[in-house]
Amino acid sequence: MGFLRSYESLVISSLSRFSRQTAFVVALGVGVSCVSCGGRGGGRGGDSRDGGGGGPAGDNLLIVSIEPLRFLVDEIVGDDFEVGVLVPAGASPETYEPTPLQMRAAEDARLVFSTGVIDFEHVMLQRLSSPERFVDLSAGIELISSVDGGAHVDADGHGHAHGGVDPHVWVAPRGLARMARTAYERIHELYPDSTSYTANYARLSERLAALDRTVAERIAASPTRSFMIFHPGLTYFARDYGLRQIALEHDGKEPSVKQLAETVGLARAEGVSKILYQSEFPRRVVEVMAAEIGAEPVEIDILGYDIVGNILKITEFIAPSATPVPKD
Ligand SMILES: [Zn+2]
């Protein structure tokens, strides 16, 4: 397997390049999100909220840790709030830490929504003067421990170190639905008289239930029972639909040459035709692997705003059908 030798040198060069790239994106991303936090806050309506409107900017501000959570919160509160995001889409903070400006925004915000399982969220929680405004959206979700149980930091922005838990709870319709419910409950506690939030949540909840049905039906109708992915971001998705996730990455690190050789064998045995990967990870490593087993590298997005659309795309990659997945 001559490709393994070239893989070795590839890993080294792509890793060092990736770190430099990451540092740049983090610096850029944090600046952008600070602008959006402090930005349009003020004069928004708040008409549907009891006692809302007219207050300082913080009254109209909600903070979320990652983009998919902004989708959930937006769907519930509509235009009543400015929703600031800490890690913008496309950013890959290897060791992300909230900036002082972001901490100030979090202090001002009515609520800070987190997945509850990403390391930097806990750093933030520890620094917040009123931790009761911190919302852990993983509540009620049966968490999965990370494969090797070891502590490591993800290149896509979240450490798996926190309690050895796999953090990708939002990349699954059922997890998302539970997160939406917790978000709604906390918002409803603050604004019990708002009927629009209740109606919005009911609509969101139905949409996520429909997403779950679509994915379940699609996978049941497909012969696919396993899929290959660079970084194991679909652990909860795989669990919920009875699929086997074969990850190239081991314990948060790129595979060793020995591990890669084993995975090549497994991929051939399973008849893998696609390798899923996130843009936050070095594509060239995936390409080498894909070429070796004759598979197609397919880019997925699990950190973007449109998590419903992205889950539908992932479903189509894993369980392709003659007719495309209906647009949500
Ligand atoms: Zn991850």
State the pLDDT confidence band at 43, using cuts at 50, 70 and 90.
very low
Closest-CA residue to 235 (of 320, 160, 317, 150): 160
Rounded (10°) CA dihedral 207, 208, 209, 211 = 90
Between CA 235 and CA 280 the distance in angstroms is: 18
Q: Kindly give, in sequence order, each residue whose CB lies less than 8 Å from that of residue 260, ignoring residues fewer than 6 positions away.
A: 4, 7, 248, 289
Q: What is the pLDDT of residue 40?
A: 32
Residue 163 has pLDDT above 80, yes or no: no
* pLDDT tens by residue, 118-150: 888 888 888 889 899 999 999 999 999 985 444
Give me ligand 1 centre to Cα 230, in Å. Answer: 10
pLDDT tens for each residue of 64-80:
999 999 999 999 999 99
Residue 104 is inside which H or E element, if any?
helix 100-108
Strand arrangement of the beta sheet that strand 226-229 belongs to = 244-247, 226-229, 274-278, 296-300
Distance 219 CA to ligand 1 centre (A): 23
> How many whole angstroms from 68 Cα to the centroid of ligand 1?
13
Beta bridge partners of 142: none
Ligand 1 centre distance from Cα of residue 198 (Å): 32
Taking the centre of ligand 1 as the mean of its atom positions, its distance from the CA of residue 294, in whole angstroms, is 25
252 pLDDT band (50/70/90 cuts)? confident
Q: Which domains does the chain have, with CATH numbers?
A: 2-213 (3.40.50.1980), 222-318 (3.40.50.1980)
Tokens for 92, please give them. 């890959």
What is the Å distance from ligand 1's center to 40 Cα? Answer: 31
Q: How many A from CA of 156 to the centre of ligand 1?
A: 5
pLDDT of residue 29: 34
